[in-house]
Structure 1
Amino acid sequence: MSTGARLGVHPAVARASEVTAVRAPAVPGSRRSTGHGRSSVVPGDLTSAIVGATTALVAMVDGGGRILLANPAMQRFTGRPEAALLGRPFWEVYVIPEDVPRAQRAVAAALSGGASFLEEADWVRADGVWRRMSMQNSVVTDESGRPYAIAIVAIDVTEQRAREDQVHREATTDALTGTSNRRGLFDALHVHLQSGVGAGCAVLFCDVDDFKAVNDQHGHARGDQLLVEVASRLGEFAGSGGLVARLGGDEFVLLLPGLDESEVPGLVGRVQRRMQEPLDTGSTQLLVSVSIGGVSGHPGEDPDAVLALADRSMYLRKSSRTAT
């Protein structure tokens, strides 16, 4: 168990967790004759059979995090028999190191509050590989209703989350340049401009001048090469915290979080000079001209409005250049 919570818990967790919704741990039952030469399984045996057969990882821990029960799936995951797990704090067995303090706090909070909860976290498998687990953590009470343990039912959702992340990347990435697309840009703008949370950001709107002429004179392959190079040069300024997005055609946006408004003009100048350097295509050199407008977005401002201001700033600079 850990506190790396995330929405969207795997449905199988909720189903599997029903076996842990008990007042106390399952007590081994006995077989009872039905009068027809057969025996029936009493509830204690049935619960034990389900816990033993499920592919979900099932464990029970006490208030000190010590493991009281570990089903076969949990034993396979940890690479240890149940005898080697019993009595050990679970955070010493499969919790990633940076999550240990939060796991300890989660146990204390769950038992003091008595509330079950869903979460996701990374666990360490026996071979050292991290796996993403979706968990149902159910508080177990004794006959007087007093919480004394937590039953954990976990499902491995690593591949599912990887597929979801891949779909999200494809939906927010420009296929030609590998930068973000419009959707990815607005996702970032909403984060940085969120009232009371975001730190604001500088937004540079960039438009490649006379791009149609490049396509007409040198072919679309050279035009695509130019767009990829523009994206690459913008990426030099984005660093690890910024973002480059292609809005479509020859329009790009450079977003830099936390940049002071007074720094925007200097940034525009540096980007402009970098863009003016010739592009060597192998057989010829292309002179790149890009019109750039920059603004500073502040927390609480509308992302569409900020982008429109940057677009307007770019248009005014382009107009002033063509008029001279």
Structure 2
Amino acid sequence: MPLGTHVLSRFGRVLARTLSARSAPAPALDEAAVAAGVVASTTALICVVDLQGRVLSANPALLDLTGYEPRDIVGRLIFDTLVIPEDLVPAQASLRQAALVGTAGQVEADWLDRHGGRLRIHMHSSVLRDQDGEPRAVAYVGTDVTQQRQLQTELRERAETDALTGLRNRAAMLSALQTALLPSPAHRGDQVGLLFCDLDGFKKVNDRHGHLVGDALLIDVGRRLLALTRPPQVVSRLGGDEFLILTPAATPTSITQLSDAIERDMRRPFRTRHGAITIGVSVGAALGHVGDDPTQLIEQADRHMYGVKTTARARTLRAV
């Protein structure tokens, strides 16, 4: 008996016994037909592959979702159709493991549709055996969770994004800072740089020109800071007119150069609906090491920033 027929027949026998136990006597069920009907009508995505990864069958729900015709996928390797390129090696290893030990499990991964689009699939996989108990194929039963994952990503982005500027917010910066301060063999001995930027003269802008102009100015400040940095650096708005910049693998020289560049760039006039506006910025710096407390590093940069601001005010008063 072919493997597919054997699997459907076995599934049909189980379902037939269940139906018989719950209902009055009825004509005998065609077990294979019942199993085939369930597979054809379910919304679950079902794909059966042999131990080399060649697709033996794909149910209508899977075909509808991916846009494939049966001739496009049945008989071809799953690695050439559904599996995304970056998952090729782990997918092949998982199939070999299933063939070797005779068990499989559940996993969540991206599948490709016919046009190259990506679908997030949560799937359970089971090893199918022949009449002698030998592993012969693996059945993947999946659920499309693409929309759920996209929604989760959007919600997470909203939770980590400053609503006004689109920069990372305080919570996101704390998370990034915690990660940067974790021990890592690749960055052993590296210092983590943090800049605390506080705008000078921003309150006067708000008082004179209104909050709409002030908000527009904060957005432009964020854009300028982003233009001065590159990943893996992280720019965030702490709140009000305060901004933080995280610089992994920093040195005293690199952090000083960035601080100087920010001060120069912020002195350039900002174009607003009320004309050109000039402000300044006080920048405090701190260098941390693996294992340091993120909050204390922020406080250290904050104290340095206030020292810079106080010194600048003192110079201004002496000049007057």
Give the TM bin, normalised by the shorter chain: 0.7 to 0.9
Q: Are 2:233 and 1:233 equivalent residues in the alignment?
A: no
CA-to-partner distance for each residue in 1:122-180, whole Å, 9 max, x for gaps? 21112332212111122334566554322101111111111111111111111111111
Distance 1:284 1:107, change over 3 A: same
Counterparts of 2:261 and 2:199, CA distance in 1:
16
* Secondary structure of 1:41's aligned partner: coil
Which segment is superposed worse, 36-45 or 72-81? Answer: 36-45
- Give the secondary structure class of the aligned counterpart of 1:264: helix
Match of 1:9 in 2: none
- Compute the displacement of 1:198 (Å): 7.5
Q: Which residue of 2 aligns with 1:175?
A: 163
d(CA) in 2 for partners of 1:206, 1:113: 58
Q: 1:75 aligns with which of 63, 67, 71?
A: 63
- Normalising by structure 2, what TM-score? 0.83
Matched with 1:99 is 87
- Name 2:307's counterpart in structure 1: 316
Residue 40 of structure 1 deviates from its aligned partner by 4.5
Matches within 5 A, 1:1-324: 25-27=7-9, 38-41=26-29, 45-82=33-70, 85-142=73-130, 146-196=134-184, 199=187, 201-324=192-315
Q: How big is the shift at 1:273?
A: 1.0
Gaps of 5+ in 1: 1-23
Cα deviation, 1:43-102, whole Å, max 9, x if unaligned, reads 655443322211111112222111223222223345445465443211112222332233
CA distance in 1, matches of 2:144, 2:49: 19
What is the match of residue 18 of structure 1? none
3-state SS of the aligned residue for 1:176? coil
Aligned partners of 1:78 and 1:93 also within 8 Å? no
CA contact (8 A) 1:238 1:255 kept: no
Going from structure 1 to structure 2, the CA distance change for 1:258 and 1:45 (only over 3 Å counts) comes to farther
Deviation per residue, 1:11-61 (Å, 9 max, x gap): xxxxxxxxxxxxx723275889x8x88324366554433222111111122
Larger-gyration structure (1/2): 2
Distance 1:42 1:208, change over 3 A: same
Contact 1:261 1:295 in 2 (8 A): no
Q: Structure 2 unaligned segments of length 5 or more: list them.
A: 1-5, 316-320
Decide which moves more: 113-122 or 267-276. 113-122
| AA matched with 1:25 | V
Cα 1:145/1:316, change in 2 over 3 Å: farther
Q: Pick closer, same or farther for the CA change 1:84–1:228 going to 2, 3 Å.
A: closer
CA distance in 2, matches of 1:315, 1:112: 64
Query: 2:318 maps to which residue?
Result: none
CA contact (8 A) 2:209 2:274 kept: no
**Residues 197 and 299, structure 1, Cα contact 8 Å, conserved in 2:** no
- Contact 1:131-1:158 within 8 A present in 2 as well: yes
Greater RCO, 1 or 2 (C-alpha within 8 Å, sep 6+): 1
Deviation at 1:115, TM superposition (A): 3.9
Answer whether contact 2:68 2:113 (CA < 8 A) is retained.
no
Taking the aligned partners of 2:153 and 2:193, their CA distance within structure 1 comes to 27
Give the whole-Å Cα distance in 2 for the aligned partners of 1:95 and 1:225.
Answer: 45
Separation in 1, partners of 2:31, 2:124: 22
The percent of aligned pairs where both chains have the same amino acid is 37
Q: Secondary structure at the match of 1:134?
A: strand
Contact 2:122 2:143 in 1 (8 A): yes
